[in-house]
Amino acid sequence: MELQGEKSFKTKTIANAALAIGKLPFDVATKSLEELAAVKVIGKSVAAKVREIVETGTMKELEALLAETPPGVVEIMSIKGLGPKKVLVIWKELGIENIGELFYACNENRLMEAKGFGLKTQEDIRKSIEFKMANSGRFLYAHVHGFAKGLLSGLREIAGTELISFTGAFRRKAEIVDGLDILIGAPVLEEVVSWIESSEDLQLVERKDDVLTAESGSGVKVYIRFCTAEAYFKELVLQTGSAEHLEELSSRVKEVPSVIASEEEYYRAAGLPFIEPELREGVFEFSLAEKNALPQLICYEDLKGTLHNHSTWSDGASSLEEMARFCRDEMKIEYLGICDHSKSAFYAKGLSEERVLAQHAEIDALNAKLSPFKIFKGIESDILFDGSLDYPVEILSQFDFIVASIHSVFKMSEEKATSRLIKAIENPYTTILGHPTGRLLLSRSGYPVDIPKVIDACAANGVVIEINANPLRLDIDWRWHQYAIEKGVMLSVNPDAHSVRGFNDIHYGIIAARKGGVAAENCLNALNLTEISAFFESRRAHENTHHTI
């Protein structure tokens, strides 16, 4: 009621009555309307509502309120510490309509500055959402990665062998995992049991044959399996691939020698080159392997720069100079593309036209100071509902490159979303399509998009597609990378960093790109400074031939 702006005395009456009813010495369902109306804390108007609930299981007024409130906002109300006033700010002022968006906003420090919030509230909300996610038993790869690394090194020490590895989805670096699988090629089950029992963060849940199941304090299930040293590499293959991968693999293997010294030998027995664990999903790896066309997968060191990042000019937490110096001095890369939010993103301090020009003056000054390091003038331009970009041509033409993304009005049919994206792709000023589906893993599915059509449009217009490296996004999904590559579309691994810390996300983007079979040559920001300058130059020539839009 408060969310929908009902008068406060009315809300209070209902809340007080609800509280009082819970304390009554009798069951309200057994009383008639008159009897209820006679009870002081209930009264006539509330008594009618109580009877309605008893008879129909709900209340028309409640249903009407719920119909006017997005279901995600109702779900947000269930978060500990969030009363209606705060939820109202989140919904109406920050434009957040579900838990996924709220989690994302916490991670981007967007809540901190909203009325009635502070760093502590933001942290509390972030934690309780993480807890809610963990309860579903599924985890983002990024959220278990640190724990997993520590666990494996502890186990390696106890097991006293190098024959130990992750297997399953975590070894395949799936974006979401529902637990950790570990294989140990040594008879050390008892030692591992006592190690788990003495551990503070792990609890032994089950012990069955040669499989131990444990659970971490944050709810991550860990499955530890044991085999002999001789069987280790064979088991490693069999416990790593997805069901689809293993089915295809077993149809190709005639006979595997009983003892093998590496996974390569197993694949050789199937007449195939070695297939990297990330690719063992049964999606496209066999068709490439049999043509001997498996790519040299991209790695972090291939990247020469980073595009699509934010600064304090919009909703970032680090200044432009801090961002640039971090790239130059810590990451040792050659360029930074800065893409603050455009003017429609009011909740993220999007840049007005005047502020765009002021930022460009700062970039020119920094470029003179930090040379040969270069900051490219970019913008993350909102794709408006009709598919147009957020500035007039005079401003659009001032940028070195433009990332075009959807940030508002997600409720669209597939047809509408696809045509909205394609209109933006056909805009001659668009360089990169940002987070193409708007999904937030584990919490928001994104708008429905005809992805092949969107990729085809990027191919026709020379537009690059982003692999947004934020571990909640990893958008465009790795399952589409090969299709993009086949069509000759470049991909760009973009951290979408909102602070210097945010650059770290680029590692998750690289993992996604590797799963998609991306090589350095398919990646825009693997181009060095000279090459990418030439690329942006050629796009500007493209703008000039299409400038009547």
Q: Is-contact 503 306, C-beta < 8 A? A: yes
- Site residues for Zn ion per CB under 5 A: 380, 405, 496
Place of tokens 């600064």: 311
Q: Is-contact 246 230, C-beta < 8 A? A: no
Place of tokens 């595009």: 307
- In whole angstroms, the minimum distance from the beta carbon of 284 to Zn ion comes to 28
- In whole angstroms, the minimum distance from the beta carbon of 257 to Zn ion comes to 51
Distance set, CA 92 to CA 70, 286, 441 (Å): 12, 49, 23
CA pair distance 48, 59, nearest whole angstrom: 10
Place of tokens 């942290």: 123
Q: Residue 97 or residue 235: which is nearer to Zn ion going by CB? A: 97
Measuring CA to CA, which residue among 492, 487, 250 is closest to residue 378?
Answer: 492
Main-chain phi, psi angles of 332, to 5 degrees: 55, 45
- In whole angstroms, the minimum distance from the beta carbon of 483 to Zn ion comes to 23
Find the DSSP H helices in 427-505: 451-461, 481-486
- In whole angstroms, the minimum distance from the beta carbon of 9 to Zn ion comes to 42
Q: Is-contact 172 277, C-beta < 8 A? A: yes
Find the DSSP H helices in 336-413: 353-370, 393-396
Q: Residue 165 or residue 359: which is nearer to Zn ion going by CB? A: 359
Q: Residue 405 or residue 461: which is nearer to Zn ion going by CB? A: 405
- In whole angstroms, the minimum distance from the beta carbon of 71 to Zn ion comes to 24
List 212's β-bridge partners, or say none: 207, 224
Place of tokens 């590797």: 514
Q: Residue 306 or residue 405: which is nearer to Zn ion going by CB? A: 405
Tokens of 404: 């075009």
Q: Residue 175 or residue 380: which is nearer to Zn ion going by CB? A: 380
- In whole angstroms, the minimum distance from the beta carbon of 272 to Zn ion comes to 40
Q: Residue 359 or residue 405: which is nearer to Zn ion going by CB? A: 405
- In whole angstroms, the minimum distance from the beta carbon of 320 to Zn ion comes to 15
Q: Residue 408 or residue 419: which is nearer to Zn ion going by CB? A: 408
- In whole angstroms, the minimum distance from the beta carbon of 345 to Zn ion comes to 8
Q: Residue 380 or residue 400: which is nearer to Zn ion going by CB? A: 380
| Geometric angle at alpha carbon 502, from 445 and 454, rounded to 5° | 40
Q: Is-contact 317 338, C-beta < 8 A? A: no
